[in-house]
Amino acid sequence: MDKIKITLIKYAQTYNTKDFIKSDPIQFPHQYHKKQDIEISAFISSWLAYGNRTAILKTLSIIHKQINKYDNSPFQFIKKRGFQVYENDNNSLYRFYKYNDFYNLCNTLYTIYIIDKYNSLEEKLSQEKITTCLDLLEALVKLFKDVEGVPINTKSACKRLCMMLRWLVRNDNIVDLGIWSIIKPQDLIIPLDTHVHKQALLFGLTRSKQANMKTALEITSKLKTIFPLDPTIFDFSLFGYGVNNK
């Protein structure tokens, strides 16, 4: 385990750097400074972070170009209903997403910020009883239940939601944005996709063949024995190891 610990720490230090931002979807919420703008961009960017990285970044660039026509503010894009043109538009946006799916996501955000008058998505989520990351995931699933691409429950690994939470909660001021305090960094769950799952199997962090929430929690528990206050820093470790050991 000591050898594994040394290797994971090495890759965390290598990839948890500012240089990581420019090749990752987190670059988009990094464009903004206001909490509402960051939240909205982070949700949209993580929602679309599925499949080929180059294709993800290309699609997000196109979307944010449209968003930034509204005073360079995702919040203004939502408030002024810049997304209205996408209602009932069943043309392909990206992979299995239609433009109407993007409309539904934005319309849910409009309800939260404008109709229900919450100052932030975090404030809205704080109305629920949140003590764990799983509680927070369940609240997000419930809140965005009508949006294609948001998990229907927390039996799956909820990879993209966990990634968004890493962005918004981790607060080391390097890659992640750390604007939420609804839970602490040590409460986060590793964003588990097939890539991270493969690396976790190689490191002996799990024996489970299923990339589901149960496995994500098991891997996170193992990672907490190395960095108890910041287990999801190893998202960078497992990413880096995969890149360098294809």
Count of CB atoms situated within 10 Å of the CB of 51:
12
| Cα-based distances in Å from 183 to 46, 63, 142, 212 | 19, 29, 18, 22
Q: What is the pTM of this model?
A: 0.95
DSSP-derived pairing of the beta strands 97-98 and 92-94: antiparallel
Give the span between the Cα atoms of 183 and 169, in whole angstroms: 7
- pLDDT of res. 94: 95
User: Token pair for residue 47?
Assistant: 């929602």
- pLDDT of res. 4: 80
CB 44 within 8 A of CB 63: yes
Give the dihedral sign, CA 183/140/48/83. Answer: negative
- pLDDT of res. 8: 85
Give the span between the Cα atoms of 130 and 9, in whole angstroms: 30
Helix axes 35-47, 159-169, angle to 10 degrees: 150
Q: What is the pLDDT along the chain (246 residues), one digit of tens a residue?
A: 678 888 888 888 888 999 999 999 999 999 999 999 999 999 999 999 998 999 999 999 999 999 999 999 999 999 999 999 999 999 999 999 999 999 999 999 999 999 999 999 999 999 999 999 999 999 999 999 999 999 999 999 999 999 999 999 999 999 999 999 999 999 999 999 988 899 899 889 999 999 999 999 999 999 999 889 999 999 988 777 766 665
Residue at 156: amino acid letter: S
DSSP characters for the chain?
A: -HHHHHHHHHHHHHHSSGGGGGGSGGGTGGG--SHHHHHHHHHHHHHT--S-HHHHHHHHHHHHHHHTTTTT-HHHHHHTTTTGGGTT--SEEETTEEHHHHHHHHHHHHIIIIIS--S-HHHHHTTS--SSHHHHHHHHHHHTTTSTTS-SSSSB--HHHHHHHHHHH--SSSSS-----SS-GGG------HHHHHHHHHHTS---S--BHHHHHHHHHHHHTT-TT-GGGHHHHHHHHHHHT-
